[in-house]
Structure 1
Amino acid sequence: MKKALIFYGGWEGHEPEQVAHILKDILSEENFEVRLTDTLQTLEEGNLNEYDLIVPNWTQGTIKKEQLQPLIEAVANGTGLAGLHGGMGDSFRWETDYQFMVGGQWVAHPGNDGISYQVNIIDRDCPVTQGIKDFTVISEQYYMHVDPAVKVHATTKFPIAEGPYKVNGEVEVPVVWTKMWGKGKVYYCSLGHVAEIVRMPEVIQLMRNGFLWASR
């Protein structure tokens, strides 16, 4: 049986505990043995290499070097990394090494929550988007700064909301991407502002696909 670690916490607005349990249920349905933890101390205790998959769900916050370094090394050694929204794409803002591993960083959500936007699947033959068609989300629309090394599987178009960025014209920003970090696979999905959005069938399927793809 494969083993997964989900660590959750940080800003409570993203409902980290509720979301962590939804993600745990997905993994349990796929026969993972799942450990949930609400402390970053877990990252410095024991051997993270024993996990086939690690799921960060910790928005903002700070992390100690002795907690971050084992995580980065475990992924480089082959442990998969997969997560969503700010729980993985807006964690530990001061830690550029973490952002380098993840492949991007949240910088804005123009219009805040309640924006209606389209998610466009651009790589329908990939395992991470298999069985998913374009769909609409009413939530935060994440504008990401993105590593050019990532492979993009789904996008959304900006601008929708008003703002000074609008004069730059239409751009596509990744919603789902994958990359490698050493021997480890990295998967990210920018959807999932609150538990209600994570429970959308499309988001559940994207996370299921991503977990299975990224796992060792």
Structure 2
Amino acid sequence: MRALIVRGGWEGHEPVACTDLFIEFLAGQGFTVDVADTLEVYTDRRRLASAELIVQCWTRGRLTAEQEDGLVERVRSGAGFAGWHGGIIAFGYENARYQHMVGGRFVFHPDGFLDYAVDVVGDHPIIAGVPRYEVHTEQYYCHVDPTLDVHATCTFADSGAVMPVVWTREHGAGRVFVSTLGHSPTDLLVPHTRTITGRGLLWAAGMLSPDLPSRTGSPD
């Protein structure tokens, strides 16, 4: 199994530090990890074809038509696509096929970090055994596809709006995992967030183990 990590874009989301948290985890799950720091990798048919999982952490980027075609068609043909926070949904706003594949886009968040609860929904393996838990981070308001499979939500205190936090979907033969949590390594080290993220990567690759520890891939 090969995982391709594509990282770069806005440094405020610490793409290198955040993705580094999961390289050892993926290697421990049997992946050979390939890292790219350019979106041009999406035009490299050989590297794309060898990747069963693509993890993107690239905020504020946009794809050329050729890059978009390469990525979307690889996912449609069976690769998993996964990411978190702005690295996957504050990206490609002008790329309609990318937006349709991912199923949501970041719109805004209230100023600063907030305390709010992550409410798990259902019993999908990604969130199985994870209780309702509190976070202190940005609260993302998104425009989302109504057909998403939503596995966790949050509620905006001012409006009562319930917003997806974790979702999955299938795109052709591929699987897509998205979490709005993960502004920084600190957020991704929250135990339940780390569990959800690690499981989400494995689910997208079609190899989720039902017995992951509560801190998957911990560097401790």
Pairwise same-fold verdict (TM > 0.5): yes
Aligned residues: 205
5 Å-filtered alignment, 1:2-151, equals 2-47=1-46, 48-111=48-111, 113-123=112-122, 125-151=123-149
Tell me, which stretches of 5 or more residues in structure 2 are unaligned? 207-220
Q: Identify the range of structure 1 (23-32 vs 4-13) with the bigger mean alpha-carbon deviation.
A: 23-32
| Higher deviation after alignment, 133-142 or 39-48 | 39-48
Q: State which drifts further: 150-159 or 18-27.
A: 18-27
Over residues 127-183 of structure 1, what are the superposed CA-to-partner deviations in whole Å (9 max), with x where a residue is unaligned?
111231111111100111111111100000013xxxxxx4xx311100000111001
Quick one: which amino acid aligns to residue 22 of structure 2?
L
Aligned equivalent of 1:211: 201
Q: Using the aligned pairs only, state the percent identity.
A: 39
User: What pairs with 1:138-177 in structure 2 (closer than 5 Å)?
Assistant: 138-159=136-157, 166=158, 169-177=159-167
Q: Distance in 2 between matches of 1:176 and 1:16?
A: 19
CA–CA separation in structure 2 for the residues paired with 1:100 and 1:66: 17
| Superposed displacement of residue 27, structure 1 | 1.2
Equivalent residue letter for 2:118: V
TM-score, with length taken from structure 1: 0.91
Question: How big is the shift at 1:193?
Answer: 0.4
In the superposition, the TM-score normalised over structure 2's length comes to: 0.89
Post-superposition offset of 1:194:
0.8
Assess if the C-alpha contact under 8 Å between 1:26 and 1:204 holds in 2: no
Provide the secondary structure at the position in 1 that maps to 2:57.
strand
* Conserved? CA contact 2:45–2:70, under 8 Å: no
CA offset at residue 96 of structure 1? 2.0
Moved over 3 A (4+): none
Once residues 26 and 141 of structure 1 are traced to their aligned partners in structure 2, the CA distance between those partners, rounded to angstroms, is: 27
| Aligned match of 2:213 | none
Unaligned runs of 5+ in 1: 160-165
Q: Secondary structure of 1:128's partner?
A: coil
Could you tell me how far 1:83 is from its partner in structure 2?
A: 0.7
Whichever residue aligns with residue 147 of structure 1, its letter is D
CA distance in 2, matches of 1:74, 1:196: 31
